[in-house]
Structure formats: C-alpha cells, structure tokens
Amino acid sequence: MTDNNNPLLNGTRIYKSLSENEVIDILLNWNNIHEKSDLRSFLSGIFYPDKKAYFDYEGFYVAKTILRDDLKLEPSRKPGDIDVIIIPFTQSKIYFERTSVYEIKIVRPTRINPGRNANSLGVTQVLGLAEDGFPLVGLIHVSLTEPLPEEEKVTIKFSTIKANSGSGREAGKSFDDYLIDVRMDQFAWWSSENQIKRLTAFQLPDYIGVTSYGLEFYNDGRMVICTSDVYHQKLAACSFNPKSSGLTILKIKNHFLKNRHKYKMILNRRPE
C-alpha cells in the first residue's frame, strides 16, 4: 500500500548539509501559510511562560544572529551573538519585557558515527544569556542525519485509519486489521532523543527551556520535524528568568527601534 501524502509510506529521504542560519530560517518559516508561520519550535519562550497571553499576541518581531556588541551587552562574554530574538506584540503594545532568546546548535550524526555530538552543546552560551538578563532563554538542538539504507530501517506497525478523519472501523473488523508493516528511518528521531538525554545531564535551571529536533528531507521537497519523546518535551516549559534585567530589556528596545529593518514581523499562527 502507498500513500503519496505520507512520507512514512512513500518518498525517498535525502541529506541536506545546512548551515546554522539555514536551519534557523527553516525553524522560523516552517509551515508558512498566508504570512503566518508556525513558531512551534520556539514555544519554550513564547508560549509556556504565559499561555494565556500567547493567544492574545497578534504576532512577533524576530531577528537572528545579532552580535552582543550591537545590543551593547557586556563585551568579552559568551555567547558572541544571539542566534534568535523573538519579541511578541499586540495591536496596542510591544512586549520587550517578554523577549525570548535562543541558542541554536546543529548536530550532524553519521551512520558510521551515530552518536556524534555538536561541536559545542551550547550550555555555556545559554547560561550566559541568562546572566545577561534576557527575560526568557532557550536552548535548541537540531539533528541533521544521513538517510538509512533499507536494511538498517526498523519495522513498525502503522494504522491505515487516518487520524481525526471521522471514519472508524468497518463492521466485523478489529483495529489490528488496519495495521500494516512499514519500514521506518528513525535516525533523526533517535538523534533528537539522544541529544535531549545528553542535555538533561547538565541539570540546567528550570527557567531555561531545552528542546531537541531532528529534520528529515525528502526528494519531493517535503520536510518532517521529529521531536523527542513526550516525557522529555516537558523540558521546553521554561519560565521567566529570575535574573532578568531592566537594563537588558531597555537595550533590546533600543536595538529594535534603531534597527527595525533587522526584525521580521511574523503573524501569530496558533497551534491547532
């Protein structure tokens, strides 16, 4: 059986050697519909700290790769730049005091070295962001894995009943009758899970959001974002930084006002 709309059943995985900036662009523009992007990759800082406020946001001002010198932060400290800055806004206010910043790290495991780590885990950098006084701080690891050959894939049971379709089982049939064997390339998911386990060993403060993803690319242009196990996803639920600094918030505001062209406006597309 084939399903042209489901990469699990049809489609050939390919490898893309992307730069950090290219990965950030993917995360920021994922699932873009009518100028509304799904910023689900950054929910650690824009949703979890104040879930009620999130649904009132009209959108976000987003900047990437901003040098700490440009923000007038204390020099000679890590990180040297801020990978992603996200500032929420409504029709009446820009919430600089709810600015979230993220350290992004790329992992490039291979079949020969599946446990290959990032050159830097980003722990020092994300702790540095907290010390700098940013209101909300997150660390995101993204794995770019090689496609596995057929003989290295894992066989799983896959239900052919489409989720939320409203169609149930036919009379006389059990759920097992709708299961088929599918050969799955789980490398990206496994790597995402592996990275989040590595990061838990550092016991970062609860107010720092920690997230891990794996990116899969297909020869027909599709992309899939894999996440770690639900148990580990709770690590993304950061809270406001107790070291948040009014001076740092003022520096964010000043940078935004003087460098408006560096901030892209993304309208809020709320998760379904």
Digit-coded pLDDT (tens) for 37-54: 678 889 999 999 999 999
Q: Which of 153, 154, 146, 151 is nearest to 112 (CA)?
A: 146
Distance CA 269, CA 272 (A): 9
In a domain, 259, yes or no: yes
CB 147 within 8 A of CB 112: no
Q: Tell me what the mean pLDDT of segment 236-256 comes to.
A: 96
In a domain, 69, yes or no: yes
In a domain, 168, yes or no: no
Q: Name the average pLDDT for the chain.
A: 87
Question: For the chain, how many structural domains are there in total?
Answer: 1
In a domain, 22, yes or no: yes
Phi, psi of 79 (to 5 degrees): -80, 160
- Structural domain boundaries, residue 84: 13-160+175-268
Return the pLDDT at 168: 65
pLDDT one-digit tens code per residue, 161-184: 666 566 666 676 776 777 777 777
In a domain, 17, yes or no: yes
In a domain, 101, yes or no: yes
Distance CA 271, CA 39 (A): 9
In a domain, 165, yes or no: no
In a domain, 260, yes or no: yes
Q: How confident is the model at residue 4 (pLDDT cuts 50, 70, 90)?
A: very low
Distance CA 98, CA 76 (A): 25
